[in-house]
Amino acid sequence: MTRIKPGVTAHHRHKKTLAMAKGYTQGRRKLVRIANETVMKALAYAYRDRRARKGDMRRLWIQRINAAARQHGMSYSVFMAALKERGVTLNRKVLADLAVRDPAAFGALVQAE
């Protein structure tokens, strides 16, 4: 059986890594081994932060709902408990959007106790 050298495959893999390292500086862009380390780390951060973003957004929504509820003299926890008690099944994303875009509708939710 003939020997197959990894030249072509390795070249394609290196090209792919260097393409993903575009925009990096100095050796992180030009040297395959260093570029590969940097790209792998960047991909790991991207994976982690796509999940962390969901928690960040939830925290933002809660802050917006809390601020809007306090303008109507009610805390976030009391407001959410009242909604749950009345069977209102709006999620935090929708409530935060209401608080920002339609304060009158949000005020109606707060007043309807």
1 falls within a domain:
no
pLDDT score for 1: 85
User: Into how many domains does the chain fold?
Assistant: 1
Taking the CA atoms of residue 25, residue 42, residue 93 and residue 97 in that order, the dihedral angle to the nearest 10 degrees is 10
Tell me what pLDDT residue 113 has. Answer: 60
Does residue 52 fall inside a structural domain?
Answer: yes
Q: Output DSSP code: residue 87.
A: T
- Whether residue 97 lies inside any domain: the answer is yes
Residue whose token pair is 């990096």: 24
In a domain, 2, yes or no: no
The pTM (predicted TM-score) of the whole model is 0.79
What range defines the domain where residue 79 resides? 7-111
pLDDT at 57 (0 to 100): 98
Query: CATH number of the domain that 53 lies in?
Result: 1.10.1900.20
pLDDT value at residue 4: 86
What is the predicted pLDDT for the residue at 42?
A: 97
- Cβ within 8 Å of residue 24, ≥6 positions away: 35, 38
Mean pLDDT by groups of 10 residues along the chain of 113 residues: 89 96 95 97 98 98 96 94 93 96 93 75
Q: Are 99 and 66 in contact (CB under 8 A)?
A: no
* Helical pair 7-20 and 32-71, crossing angle rounded to 10 deg: 30
